Structure 1
Amino acid sequence: MCGIVGIVSTSNVNQMLYDALTVLQHRGQDAAGIVTFQDDRFFLRKDNGLVRDVFHTRHMRRLVGNVGIGHVRYPTAGSASSAEAQPFYVNSPYGITLAHNGNLTNADELSSDLFRTDLRHINTNSDSEVLLNVFAHELQKLGKLNPTKDEIFAAVRAVHQRCRGAYGVIAMITGYGIVGFRDPNGIRPACYGVREGENGQTEYMIASESVALSAAGFTLVRDIEPGEAVYIETDGTLYSEQCAESPKLYPCIFEHVYFARPDSIMDGVSVYKARLRMGEVLADKVLRERPDHDIDVVIPIPDTSRTSAMQMAYQLGVKYREGFIKNRYIGRTFIMPGQKMRKKSVRQKLNPIDLEFRGKNVMLVDDSIVRGTTCKEIVQMARDAGARNVYFASAAPPVRYPNVYGIDMPSASELIAHDRTVEEVGELIGTDWLVYQELDDLISCVNDVNDAIDGWECSVFSGDYITGDIDKNYLTRLENRRKDSSTDATSVTDVDSDSDSDNDNIDLHNDED
């Protein structure tokens, strides 16, 4: 999962892009990058690390220009090198940079075609670089010295025909503007907004989540539709066109469960309201299964589950308490690249307040259970703090299947609920009682005001992959590749990972520092 942003403004965009990336930091903590252009020159800074660590004053001063894009990346197995930090760049045609959120399911096939047929070289293992080169090749095939909106939309149309999987994309074309588009199923999110700039000229922002718009003073216009492309010229002129033949809106439901900020609106659905409903419906299930429950207190596992836990406590008529204090300087354990690192970081990340646990029957609430490592440690922490009984509720159904659309859970063997019953999972994490959300109930929680939503991408829960191109052989190859890259990563030293380094702070036209 990643965060993307692009801005066309009437003044320098470097600070606005930085601020937007900090708001989107929850979508990726592994690497960050910003690229701007001015006078037909690109200015790029990207590296491993948090936004605040990658960009210092000297970097920001060099990111000049009124148009730019940014990216925050989260780690996948074997991602020690900063070479895969985005945005990516190709010089032909025109000079194009691209930031991508999602995953291409036919990246291997495309990479081979790009080399053998399109005569393009791919320099990393990132499918985002593949997508960039597909877009660049399709635009170059049109052979226009000055591309118009029609040529740009035609290139996006060809991308949809060649690429499969999930993608929210923002690309910047030197001297012309930025283009944003979503995959034909709308799996990954993207929206755009406006605000009035200098001299009354309209400024535009495209971002993964609406919260990035509101934080910068932009007004949300709407979500980019599945398969649609939005092109904004440097003078602020906006065009949009549907570029897919048969688009359907199937957003990733896990965005609402875990990834998105609660103050975001995604495809017309309030993330906060959806999570309130998750807690309410989950409480109803508790009352059905144990009408005479002995729960004394409901305690959330910070932060994502807080909204659901609060509503669950209200519905159950029991106390809601904050039982864990979170260390804000430790990253999200789910997206850490190694099992040992995830396990080690749990007790660094959370510390229990003994008063809220001692002698009580405690219902812990989390947004989901993926690998189970964190949950097991937290249950034990509750027992160590003196809880009489420790119950556990997941606001999401059991995660039993790999994700192939851009979330780092591709190996079924890593998922604690895969091929296990609820009782077996509860025993493994050490809880006295485990309750999961039902999938139909989860879907009802997010089916809000948008009648245009055709369905939800729920493959991690159901095993049904909306793109129709995923089979057992694909998942086996993915798991084997993950194992290989994890092994390789243990012996890799990233010489470019120092975020004080200026190695990636380059003007792509080689201006002097």
Structure 2
Amino acid sequence: MSDQIKHECGIALIRLLKPLSYYKEKYGTWRYGLNKLYLLMEKQHNRGQDGAGMVCVKDHLDPGSSYINRIRSIKQNPILDVFDKVNRPLKKAARKGMDVENCDWAYQNYPFAGELYLGHLRYGTFGKNSIDFVHPVMRQNNWKSRNLVLAGNFNLTNTDELFKVLIDLGQHPKAYTDTVTALEKVGHFLDEENQLLFRKYKNEGYSNDDISPLIEENLDIQNILERATKDWDGGYAMAGLIGHGDAFLVRDPLGIRPAFYYHDDEIVVIASERPVIQTVMNVSWEKVKEVAPGDALIIKKNGYVSRQMIRAPHKRSSCSFERIYFSRGSDRDIYRERKELGRLLSSTILETIDYDFENTVFSYIPNTSETAFYGMIEGIREYLTDWKIEKLKEGNGSMTDDDIKRIISLEPKVEKIAIKDVKLRTFIADDASRDDLVAHVYDVTYGVVRNKVDTLVVIDDSIVRGTTLKNSILRILDRLHPKKIIVVSSAPQIRYPDCYGIDMARLDKFIAFNAAIELLKDKGKEDVIEKVYRKCKEQENLSKEEMVNYVREIYRAFTPEEISTKIAELLKPDECESEVEIVYQSIENLHKACPNDTGDWYFTGNYPTPGGNRVVNSSFINYIEGKDERAY
């Protein structure tokens, strides 16, 4: 993707089901779980580079020993920094002559030798990149079964409502964020469940010493999660550890955020992506299961694993951006879907170039659009095969060898044009310097496009803001002096804010929105903008369930093609000599390519939860009133 958009987040959970000595004997190291956690996190680094953290929980230590240990980092390479810190005490002990390979010594003395591990990778969509916002987050208590650790891939749209509930309960949350709110909601019902069981066993005559292990054994995680998530509006895959050794992952009822797991008699593994587990555990696709929407995977201290319904599942609306861009392309289904996205665009592209193969060069914007590019070329070749058959039939045996050779040798010209050369570093602060560097993020392959003769077709995953296209890609492609540049997006036009995990909350950051606004102004229809603003203001104080997405009216007067034409006009640099055209994927083709992941609210405005309509409402009001603030 040429435009950088951020995504929250990646989860990795490990539950060892055997003593450390088992892994030492079978795999040669008691670090088996810790090593797997590192691999799960490293293989998901695409999901978060703002911060990383991990927690280890031990469930067989005597009172007075530290049984929950956490490390977090917001350094430039946070995963490496976290595990450098994790390994530091072990290296120090080894230098002092300790037998660090001894399982018993490690369990008693090394903070990160345990049965439970929870890791997290963060792309921040809320707050500054402060260590306070990095997961896992913790709620601590002197009773093991009241200690709670959470790490999530989520955004809640109704934090204000949930925050008020906590205030009404008499709490004083330390921050106004969805992370703190979720932690305190789960923690509140964890406390209540503990208290309920305490009273039950106390009434039955058990001593306090006997009650704690009974609570730990019988804690009803399903009930806690049902009560805690009852009013959550948003997308979430939330993983948690409880101090005595229980663990869980709960997924939203729409399946917006992804979660997968694998377990055998040695280990339980949870991650945000299927191929990550396949690779790290060396298991087949079929053995890695998806946590169903609305379900929780619950792992008890005794190792019992169960799937429980927490929320009644709704119509599946899993995020299609996972398929287009975010998830690793090594997933079997995602790879096929990305190819299909490209293949389904081929007929539109052929019409756009007027079937002129001899004077067209096909390429892609690296790196993640490469798979869609393969699909696009596959579709073009399918057309060419049919065309060749028809031409040969028309010849009816009268063609010369040269005629036949010319027909059968016709192939799309495929070249690697754009090369991603360098990442823009955050130490550049001023806008002028930043813009200059952005212009050099990509380089081009010279000599493969004929000056003022060839049309250059390049495919990208999606076009969100268009900033990199305007400031870098189109400028460098124009250096090749093509007759025309056609930029193809394998995703439809992004028109509406996301509020379930992707950092796309401001309408004025979307080139499709800006194009629609400019078209309204061009055609003297500014009154539409004012009417939409008035409708949004009128429902500003309504409950989210009563709100309507009136921002759709901004686009209603125009076809997708008209908006695409305006986008090309807005993105074409002033000095660009080549003609520029933008081609977008259709909504219909998106759903053909990704039939099981139908979440498309950023393209259509069809939000799957009431909170989405409130977010788009607030975002439009902020745009009109010039407020540079978050819409949820």
Q: TM-score, normalised by structure 1?
A: 0.84
2:482 pairs with 1:390? no
Change in CA separation of 1:282 and 1:149 when aligned onto 2, cut-off 3 Å: farther
Alpha-carbon contact 2:71-2:85 (below 8 Å) kept: no
The reply to whether residue 8 of structure 1 matches residue 15 of structure 2 is yes
1:445 equivalent to 2:593? Answer: yes
Q: What are the within-5 Å matches in structure 2 for residues 75-474 of structure 1? A: 75-76=124-125, 78-92=127-141, 94-117=146-169, 119-142=170-193, 143=195, 144=197, 145=212, 146-147=215-216, 151-195=220-264, 201-217=265-281, 219=283, 220-264=287-331, 270-293=333-356, 296-317=360-381, 318-327=412-421, 343=435, 346-357=438-449, 359=451, 360-376=454-470, 377-418=472-513, 420=516, 421-430=563-572, 432-447=580-595, 453=596, 456-471=598-613
Contact 1:21/1:51 (<8 A) preserved? no
2:82 paired residue number: 55
Query: Residue in 1 aligned with 2:100?
Result: none
Match of 2:41 in 1: 21
Mapped to 2, the partners of 1:95 and 1:214 lie a distance apart of: 31
Residues 477/301 of structure 1: CA separation in 2 closer, same or farther (3 Å cut): closer
The C-alpha deviation readout for 1:209-230, integer Å capped at 9, x for no partner, is 0122022115343100011001
* Superposition deviation, residue 161 in structure 1: 1.1
8 Å contact from structure 1 (residues 149, 239) kept in 2: no
Give the Cα–Cα distance (whole angstroms) in 2 for the partners of residues 341 and 417 of structure 1: 27
Question: Does the Cα contact within 8 Å between 2:41 and 2:79 map onto a contact in 1?
Answer: no
Q: Distance in 2 between matches of 1:166 and 1:340?
A: 37
Q: Deviations over 1:356-398 (max 9, x none)?
A: 4453421111000111101222111111243332110000100
467-476 vs 437-446, greater mean Cα deviation: 467-476
Are residues 289 and 352 of structure 1, via their aligned partners in 2, closer, same or farther at CA, if it must alter by over 3 Å? Answer: closer
Distance 1:84 1:363 in 2: 42
Q: Distance in 2 between matches of 1:55 and 1:458?
A: 35
Distance 1:218 1:170, change over 3 A: farther
Matched-pair contact (CA < 8 Å) for 2:126–2:177: no
Give the counterpart letter for 1:55 in structure 2: V
Q: CA deviation at 1:347?
A: 4.0
Q: CA 1:380–1:21 in 2, change beyond 3 Å: closer, same or farther?
A: same
| 2:13 maps to amino acid | G
Structure 2 length-normalised TM: 0.69
Assess, with a 3 A threshold, how the Cα gap between structure 1 residues 473 and 23 changes in structure 2: closer, same or farther: closer
Equivalents in 1 of 2:422, 2:490: separation in Å? 23
Q: Which amino acid aligns with 2:125?
A: T
Offset of residue 480 of structure 1: 4.5
Name the CA distance, whole Å, in 1 between partners of 2:347 and 2:256: 29
1:121–1:477 distance in 2 versus 1, CA, 3 Å: farther
CA shift for structure 1 position 470: 3.1
Rg (Cα) greater in structure: 2
Do the aligned partners of 2:119 and 2:136 also contact (CA within 8 Å) in 1? yes
Change (3 A) 1:348 1:289: closer
The answer for the alignment partner of 2:67 in structure 1 is 41
SS at match of 2:289: strand
Structure 1 residues 272 and 338: CA distance shift in structure 2, 3 A: farther
**C-alpha distance in 2 between matches for 1:244 and 1:342:** 46
- Per the alignment, in what secondary structure is the counterpart of residue 602 of structure 2? helix
* 1:389/1:7 CA distance change after superposition, 3 Å: same
Kindly state the Cα deviation for residue 344 of structure 1 after the two structures are TM-superposed.
5.5
**Whole-Å separation in 2 of the counterparts to 1:233 and 1:406:** 29
1:94 Cα deviation after fit:
2.2
Q: How far is 1:162 from its partner?
A: 2.0
Q: 1:372 to 1:113 in 2, by over 3 A?
A: same
1:131 and 1:342, CA in 2 relative to 1: closer, same or farther beyond 3 A?
farther
Q: What is the DSSP-based 3-state SS (H/G/I as helix, E as strand, rest coil) of the residue aligned with 2:366? A: coil
Structure 2 distance, partners of 1:436, 1:338, is 33
Quote the Cα distance in structure 2 between the aligned partners of 1:426 and 1:150. 59
Assess if the C-alpha contact under 8 Å between 2:364 and 2:417 holds in 1. yes
Kindly report the root-mean-square deviation, in angstroms, between the aligned alpha carbons of the 2 structures. 2.8
Range with greater deviation from structure 2 (55-64 or 136-145): 55-64
Cα drift, residue 339 of structure 1 = 8.5
> Offset of 1:289 from its aligned partner?
4.7
SS at match of 2:323: helix
Does the 8 Å CA contact 1:188/1:251 hold for their aligned counterparts?
A: yes
Superposed CA offset, 1:257-308 (max 9, x none) = 111111125xxxx110000000100112223455434562221111111100
Offset of residue 464 of structure 1: 1.0
**Residue identity opposite 2:571 in structure 1:** I
Amino acid at match of 1:275: R
1:455-487 Cα offsets, whole Å, 9 max, x none, are 61110000110012333576426975995569x
Distance (whole Å) between structure 2 residues aligned to residue 252 and residue 391 of structure 1: 27
AA aligned opposite 2:486:
Y
User: What one-letter code is carried by the residue in structure 1 that aligns with 2:73?
Assistant: D
Bigger relative contact order (CA 8 A; separation at least 6): 1
- 2 CA distance for matches of 1:345 and 1:4? 33
Matched, 1:66 2:115: yes
**Partner secondary structure for residue 185 of structure 2:** helix
Deviations 1:13-48 (A, max 9, x none): 332212111111111111111111123611111121
